[in-house]
Structure 1
Amino acid sequence: MPVKLQSSGGEDHEEDARIEIVPLIDIMFFLLASFMMVSLSMTSIHRVNLKLPAAKTAMADNKTPPIHLAVDAHGVITWDAKIVTPTEITERLLAMKPTEDTKVLIAPDQDSRTQAVMSVIDAARAAGVEKVSFETKLQAP
Structure 2
Amino acid sequence: MEIPIPCALSALAETAQAAAEFSADHNLSKRITFALELAIDEIASNIIRHGFNEIADGAQIILTLDVDADRMSATFVDNAPAFDPLVEAPAPDTTSDIETRAVGGLGVHLVKSLTDKACYEREDNQNRLTLTWDRATETDS
- Normalised to the residue count of structure 1, the TM-score between the two structures is 0.23
Q: TM-score, normalised by structure 2?
A: 0.23
